[in-house]
Structure 1
Amino acid sequence: MSQKRQSTAITGNLLYAQSGGVTAVINATAAGVIEAARGKGVKVYAARNGILGALREELIDTSKESAAAITALRHTPGGAFGSCRYKLKSLEDDRAEYARLIDVFRAHEIRWFLYNGGNDSADTALKISQLGNAMGYDIRCIGVPKTVDNDLAVTDCCPGFGSVAKYTAISTLEASLDVASMAETSTKVFILEVMGRHAGWIAAAAGLAGEGEDEPPHIILFPENSFDEVAFLAKVKATVERVGWCTVVASEGVRNAAGEFLADAGTRDAFGHTQLGGVAPVLAALVKEKLGYKYHWALPDYLQRSARNMASKTDANQAYAVGKAAVEYALAGMNAVMPVITRTSDSPYRWKIEPAALDKIANREKKMPADFLTLDGFGITAAARRYLAPLIQGEAHPPHGRDGLPKYGRLKNTAVAKKLPAFEH
């Protein structure tokens, strides 16, 4: 394992890059990185649009930003430096890309690389961490956790998840109050589709909106369970007859008994993931055809991960903390590790940051534990509530302007002068 501290008698610059889908709090992690590095006298470059920026030598000099601008990142959604979905192949399969990264690192005296992303990004970070020995350049690489899906292994939770969980629970609660008020003469079934390709963590968070059989969400559909049409329709019908209406929360990754996505758009992203989106209308059509109920459905999509105004304070604090810890690990000479969140107590909720080896995280996926799902597969258990509830605690509202809108930060993103020929691949 590469977690062992190495010699720290090196000087140079630190490169930070964001990867994959952004979160409401990924910029808080960026702020943690930059502020921690500034405190140590280390210059931070940021790669424009993730790893592609490193390959293209499109670097941003964060030292040109004011302290106030960096602090504002803590309450600003999106990816301040741009992100991308791009997965490096193995060194054996594409040595040219790795050679290019080394050329860029060397040209700009980059000795530490922090890659802020999820499962596939952890794999890329692991590969880059091995470059020093393979290509004769001293580089330390730290993976930094981020994903709304909460599916990273080892860490108790993922920065980004707590905020999307809060958004989902609040949206479920508020929409359900609307449905309840209209159910007598209008909508009987409301379906909310949430993100989650293989793991149902976000769908589970909707369960925090209410407790008890008659409180919404009445049905949660998880990707961990095969979709049973007969059982689903029976549950919807029984709920409407008993309560008068029914709220359903469905993960985008719901599959049928044959293992096929109910909402497969037929395209794939750069990581090879199936492009999803559209399970809610599929379910709505089924409800209309089989039960005849009037329905509404919603697909919040990007709204889930960009809702910084509704962010969890716990999540925002954890996002900042992993960025700060990543810098501390890098400057201490650590390599091929990730700062992860360790829960030390449920009540009161307490947590700490510890290093974990990237090879225990890369390309692994944490799904919902079986004891988090009710026996009928349509809800969450008390154990799931104990786990989820602390992650949405606290408000971290951004400052607002006179126009009533949040005052989000904007960086100058001053480019670093290029020193190498353009990269063609």
Structure 2
Amino acid sequence: MPHNAFYAQSGGVTAVINASAAGVIAEAKAHPDTIGTLYAGRDGIIGALTEELIDITAESESDLAALLHTPSGAFGSCRYKLKSIEEHRTQYERLIEVFRAHDIRYFFYNGGGDSQDTAHKVSQLSEKMGFPITCIGVPKTMDNDLPITDCCPGFGSVAKYTAVSILEASFDVASMQRTSTKVFVMEVMGRHAGWVAASAGLARDERGMGPDIILFPEVPLDESRFLEQVDRVVAERGFCMIVVSEGAKDAAGEFLSSSGSTDAFGHAQLGGVAPVIVNKIKQHAGYKCHWAVCDYLQRAARHIASKTDVDQAYELGRAAVRYAVNGDNAVMPVVVRESDLPYRWHIDKAPLSEVANVEKCLPTDFISDDGFHITDKARRYLSPLIEGEAYPPYQNGLPAYRTLKKSVIPKKCAEFYDL
């Protein structure tokens, strides 16, 4: 007898998280004897707590097909971490209550480390509460910091955007450096892991364009040595291109841009590191500087997505459903790299217990000895992940992105206010 399933998107969205949703939906439809109706949470896990379950069958086939090329979270996402089971069982009990009311026995949670932790805990508690739920994590994070998997859906497209952006900015600054900007600083995401910053290094080639200096979270800033490097580059070529991760730290290990507050997941809220770096340079040498923050632009840029990234996101969504119907529980599909050139990969699985709340930082041997660039090993790893173009369809000069109806089914449980 088939049982229903629930899918939710979590945390910061990416250019390809909807491709994973498309994979989950397509594969769920292929198993009607096992999976009945697939619902989606309105605004992520909050949709389960408030019993706002989106009826995916109410969406048109063309709109669902368009998920493959539409950025952000089509069903809504959220930064919301459930409290620990030990301290607060109510939220987990509420999830089980809603799932039981709608005969939901399959839970697909599309997110990063915190989300995989939630899926793992639900799988454990549901068993104890007498309503076992098969919980499968679907990897997603543009930060590329989930363990075990070769890479994370969302990262390849951000890496491509980052490398292209610093390359194009280099041409801009080079053409004006004699009478205008001498130093350009581009800030990218990455609180503790410098994967996105490292990807900018792919733009550096024999032409001398791309970043001259990359500041990683993994390498505490030696301010005097950094400023000496800026001076050296400006003296040699007339201008200096810098990429800095938002999580760059000082010699004491403190965030250069910490605002002193935290987000909904308990992570440090950062206030913008690019202007901090620019101020240091101006005070030191008085160069004319310009800075930019990629921020949401880099993770929403579906128009320049990596085909590798899109393909992996979709196939990982499909694999999540296959693992569920085959009897696996508390696992996450992962990408396994077989070779760099040509890039070959396949999908395997990892226990959620080994994925949850584990952060994978940039390996030491991916960072050059001077701490300001990437190594050849990093380039071999990163290069295949930005390969290929997967342009969305265009209409009137703009990408033809779709939005969904997001019709919510009738509720069966009492209102829930403990959020």
Same fold (TM over 0.5): yes
Amino acid at match of 2:197: A
* Corresponding residue of 1:182: 176
Distance (whole Å) between structure 1 residues aligned to residue 88 and residue 79 of structure 2: 17
Q: Who is 1:320 aligned against?
A: 314
Write the distance in 2 (CA, Å) between the matches of 1:236 and 1:189: 8
Q: Residue deviations 1:249-308, cap 9 Å, x none?
A: 000000011111001122211110011141100111111110110010001100010000
How far the C-alpha of 1:344 sits from its partner, in A, is: 0.5
242, 246, 260: which one aligns with 2:236? 242
Structure 2's unaligned 5+ residue stretches are none
Q: Which residue of 1 aligns with 2:6?
A: 15
Distance in structure 2 (CA, Å) of the matches to 1:181 and 1:424? 58
Distance between the aligned counterparts of 1:360 and 1:92, measured in 2? Answer: 20
Q: What is aligned with 2:145?
A: 151
Contact 1:194–1:252, Cα closer than 8 Å, also in 2 = yes
Instruction: Return the offset for 1:86.
Output: 1.2
Matched, 1:280 2:274: yes
Does 2:21 match 1:30? yes
Contact 1:131–1:139 (CA under 8 A) maintained in structure 2? no
Q: How does 1:370-409 map to 2 (within 5 A)?
A: 370-401=364-395, 403-409=396-402
Contact 2:127/2:133, CA 8 A, preserved across alignment: no
- Please list every run of 5 or more consecutive structure 1 residues that lacks an aligned counterpart in the other structure: 1-9
Equivalent residues in 2 for 1:203-282, closer than 5 Å:
203-211=197-205, 214-282=208-276
Q: How far apart are residue 413 of structure 1 and its match?
A: 1.1
Q: Amino acid of the residue matched to residue 107 of structure 1? A: A
TM-score with structure 2 setting the length:
0.98
Q: Counterparts of 2:351 and 2:289 in 1: how far apart (Å)?
A: 47
Contact persistence 1:11–1:111 (CA under 8 A) = no
* 1:410 Cα deviation after fit: 1.5
Identity across the alignment (%): 62
Q: Which amino acid aligns with 2:18?
A: N
Structure 2 residue aligned with 1:4: none
Of 75, 79, 95, the residue aligned with 2:89 is: 95
Alpha-carbon offset, residue 355 of structure 1 = 0.9
1:417 and 2:417 aligned: no
1:133 Cα offset (Å): 2.1
Aligned structure 1 segments of 4 or more residues deviating by more than 2 angstroms: 211-216
> Matches of 2:87 and 2:227 in 1, distance apart?
49
Post-superposition Cα deviations, 1:341-382, rounded to whole Å, max 9, x if no partner, equal 000111100011111101111110101111101000000000
Deviation of the 1:132 alpha carbon? 2.7
- Contact residue 117 and residue 145 of structure 1 kept, 8 A: yes
> Which secondary structure state, in structure 2, belongs to the residue aligned with residue 130 of structure 1?
helix
Q: Determine whether 1:105 maps to 2:96.
A: no
> Does the 8 Å contact 2:123/2:132 carry over to 1?
no
Distance in 2, matches of 1:214 and 1:97, equals: 54
Q: Indicate which of 324, 333, 340 corresponds to 1:330.
A: 324
Q: Name which of structure 1's ranges 214-223 and 181-190 shifts more when overlaid on structure 2.
A: 214-223
Alignment of 1:348 with 2:342, yes or no, is yes
Alpha-carbon distance in 2 for matches of 1:160, 1:215: 25
Structure 1 counterpart of 2:30, from 33, 39, 52: 39
Does structure 1 retain, via aligned residues, the 8 Å contact 2:167–2:209? no
1-side partners of 2:181 and 2:256: how far apart? 23
CA distance in 1, matches of 2:126, 2:413: 20
Selected match of 2:124 from 117, 130, 134? 130
1:221-274 CA distance string (max 9 Å, x none): 000000110011000000000011000000000001111100112221111001
Q: Deviations over 1:149-181 (max 9, x none)?
A: 000000000000000000000000000100000
Report what 1:3 is aligned to. none
3-state SS of paired residue (1:297):
strand
Q: CA deviation at 1:11?
A: 2.3
Moved more, 226-235 or 61-70: 61-70
In 2: Cα distance, 1:125 partner to 1:133 partner: 13
Give the alignment's Cα RMSD to 1 decimal.
Answer: 1.0
**Amino acid of the residue matched to residue 117 of structure 1?**
G
Instruction: Tell me which of 31, 34, 44 is aligned to 1:50.
Output: 44
Give 1:6's aligned residue.
Answer: none
User: For residue 21 of structure 2, what is the amino acid of its counterpart?
Assistant: A
Report the Cα offset of residue 75 of structure 1.
0.2
The answer as to whether partners of 1:28 and 1:319 remain within 8 angstroms in 2 is yes
| Stretch of structure 1 that moved more, 164-173 or 206-215 | 206-215
| Larger deviation, residues 25-34 vs 209-218 | 209-218
Where 1:309 maps in the other structure, the secondary structure is helix
Distance in 2 of aligned mates of 1:115 and 1:297: 36
Q: Does the aligned pair in 1 maintain the 2:194–2:361 contact within 8 Å?
A: yes
**Partners of 2:131 and 2:82 in 1: CA distance:** 18
Q: What per-residue deviation string (whole Å, max 9, x for no partner) do you get for residues 169-226 of structure 1? A: 0000000100000000000000000000000000000000113594420000000000
**When the two structures are superposed, what TM-score results if normalisation uses the length of structure 1?**
0.96
Q: Is the 8 A contact 1:149 1:161 kept in 2?
A: yes
CA contact (8 A) 1:372 1:380 kept: yes
* 1:81 partnered with 2:72: no
| Partner Cα separation in structure 2 for residue 265 and residue 396 of structure 1 | 37
What SS does structure 1 have at the residue aligned with 2:399? coil
Distance, in Å, in 1 between the alignment partners of 2:316 and 2:406 is 23
Listed one character per residue, the Cα deviations across residues 77-114 of structure 1 (whole Å, up to 9, x for unaligned) are: 01001111111222221111111111100111101000
Structure 1 residues 112-166: Cα deviation after superposition (integer angstroms, max 9, x where no partner): 0000000111111111111232211021000110000000000000000000000
Aligned residue-pair number: 415
